[in-house]
Chain A
Amino acid sequence: ETGVTQTPRHLVMGMTNKKSLKCEQHLGHNAMYWYKQSAKKPLELMFVYNFKEQTENNSVPSRFSPECPNSSHLFLHLHTLQPEDSALYLCASSQDETGGYEQYFGPGTRLTVT
């Protein structure tokens, strides 16, 4: 238990569906992250929020839409996804975006797009 929770743990959705992933951290951290992890590939940073402000958007397609209502919660809204978007989506948090602060990861959401 890392103090970062994610729901749902598994999600199967069609290409026309709309769904949301939820992340919550109980660590009092100021920075939160969304990552995509595909088999045998490096973790891909998607979005970073620091003090609720988005500071990074690594050329992510608009079919992924993040939302950070407060420092403890992070959402990833999904719509009209493609089969290649099937992957493990990890949420993480850290004390701050800068500096040598380790990131704490949630268990991830295994997403399958059919």
Chain B
Amino acid sequence: GQNIDQPTEMTATEGAIVQINCTYQTSGFNGLFWYQQHAGEAPTFLSYNVLDGLEEKGRFSSFLSRSKGYSYLLLKELQMKDSASYLCAVTDSNYQLIWGAGTKLIIKP
């Protein structure tokens, strides 16, 4: 079967750095997405990786290793507004998006 694993919940301190991991087992791979979802709101797009390596976008970076079936989202200089759920999703060989259950990130002052 197809599976996406990510931690259920993480806690970090304002101003610090946090890394949210995602591992996947899917039938084929056509890209990996990270989305942010604040409580009671819709998911919003953060990043897309299709090749190995690091993609940096401001305070957020996303890394992909296709051989390891692994990605992480790195958040720097954490702010209280970064408290949200972070969803990892992989596009399989049929271009169907397989979603993880999300990681709830709690930021403490």
- Which A residues have a C-beta under 8 Å from some C-beta of B? 2, 4, 40-43, 45, 56, 90, 97-100, 102-108
List, in ascending order, chain A residues with CB within 8 A of B97's CB.
45, 103
Query: Whole-angstrom distance between the alpha carbons of A104 and B44 in the complex?
Result: 7
Determine the interface band of chain B, counting residues with CB < 8 A from chain A. 20 to 34
List, in ascending order, chain A residues with CB within 8 A of B31's CB.
100
List, in ascending order, chain A residues with CB within 8 A of B87's CB.
43
How many A-B residue pairs have C-beta atoms within 8 angstroms? Tell me.
Answer: 44
- Which B residues have a C-beta under 8 Å from some C-beta of A? 4, 8, 30-31, 33, 41-45, 48, 50, 87, 89, 91, 95-102
List, in ascending order, chain A residues with CB within 8 A of B91's CB.
100
Which of A42, A90, A103, A108 makes the CB contact (< 8 A) with B45? A103
**What are 25 A-B residue pairs whose CB atoms fall within 8 Å in the complex?**
A40-B8, A40-B101, A42-B98, A42-B99, A42-B102, A43-B43, A43-B89, A43-B99, A45-B97, A56-B96, A90-B42, A97-B95, A99-B95, A100-B50, A102-B33, A102-B45, A102-B48, A103-B97, A104-B45, A105-B42, A105-B43, A105-B44, A106-B42, A107-B41, A107-B42
